[in-house]
Amino acid sequence: MSAPVIVLVEDDPALRTLTARALQENGYSVRQAATAPEMWLAFENGPVDLVLLDIMLPGTSGIDLCREVRRKSDVPIIFVSAKGSEQDRVLGLELGADDYLGKPFSTRELIARIRAVLRRGGLERMAGGDRETQAHFDGWTVNFPRREVKSPSGAVVELTGAEFDLLAAFLGQPQRVIARERLVELSRVRLGDSSDRSVDVLVSRLRRKISAAGHQPPIGTVRGIGYIFRAEVTRS
């Protein structure tokens, strides 16, 4: 399998060089671009697995650029921004970016996010699904682009990144027993330090957060094997 190709769009030359080097050291093939036209050129040079996009490029704003890319292709996009505001993050994710990374970031964080996005994209392609944006169970709503969960009464219920990934894994395989090792693997995508025990902790926290009075908790434990997501899941 050849190295995944990443198009890196960043206007600061030094930061671009440093980021490119960090990516190459971790086994990615990098095509660099300083502006929007250069990015389109990079697309023409062969298939691309992921775009790392600075949100505040001169000329075109990263948000517009993201919209344009999304119109032409399904390639995963990770936003990089110095703004770091919640509204920016949500806007970027709603426009079809797959994840958001605030400056400054460490190599470890960058690689973890890229792996997570590539893995998610891979899983979705395997499932043959389109990019579904929402899932529902027991009256709860899960918005994947915004990484947001709403209770049956419509209140936002905060999940950590790892908890959301775990929930996404459950929603991908409802009513099927998922082995603990498999969950570790699925949720390791975040920061890479999940252990068996911390998966149990994560599951219990998630179970508590998406519990509702008068409802059976949707996540059940299968002794000695793993967990099962009991609720029926619909997607839209």
Residues that bind another protein (CB under 8 A): 12, 14-15, 18-19, 22, 56, 82-87, 102-107, 151, 153-160, 205, 208-209, 211-213
Q: How far is the CB of 177 from another protein (least distance, A)?
A: 26
Residue type, 64: D
Whole-angstrom CA distances from 1 to 5, 29, 66 are 12, 12, 28
Q: How far is the CB of 22 from another protein (least distance, A)?
A: 6
Q: How far is the CB of 68 from another protein (least distance, A)?
A: 23
Interior angle at CA 99, CA 96 and CA 105, nearest 5: 145
Question: Judged by CB, which is closer to another protein: 84, or 192?
Answer: 84
Question: Judged by CB, which is closer to another protein: 14, or 126?
Answer: 14
The helix or strand, by DSSP H or E, that contains position 115, with its residue range, turns out to be helix 107-127
Question: Judged by CB, which is closer to another protein: 126, or 213?
Answer: 213
Assign 138 to helix, strand or coil: coil
Q: In 3D, which of 114, 99, 190, 83 has the Cα closest to residue 146?
A: 99
Q: Are 165 and 187 in contact (CB under 8 A)?
A: yes
CA 23 to the chain's CA centroid: 18
Question: Judged by CB, which is closer to another protein: 45, or 216?
Answer: 216
Question: Judged by CB, which is closer to another protein: 21, or 67?
Answer: 21
Which residues are CB-neighbours of 174 under 8 A, at least 6 positions away? 137, 229, 230, 231, 232, 233
Which residues are CB-neighbours of 145 under 8 A, at least 6 positions away? 93, 94, 96, 97, 133
Q: How far is the CB of 105 from another protein (least distance, A)?
A: 7
Q: For residue 90, count other CB atoms closer than 10 A to its CB.
A: 16
Q: How far is the CB of 157 from another protein (least distance, A)?
A: 4
Residue type, 39: M
Interior angle at CA 102, CA 136 and CA 40, nearest 5: 85
Question: Judged by CB, which is closer to another protein: 1, or 14?
Answer: 14
Question: Judged by CB, which is closer to another protein: 36, or 149?
Answer: 149
Q: How far is the CB of 130 from another protein (least distance, A)?
A: 28
Q: How far is the CB of 62 from another protein (least distance, A)?
A: 13
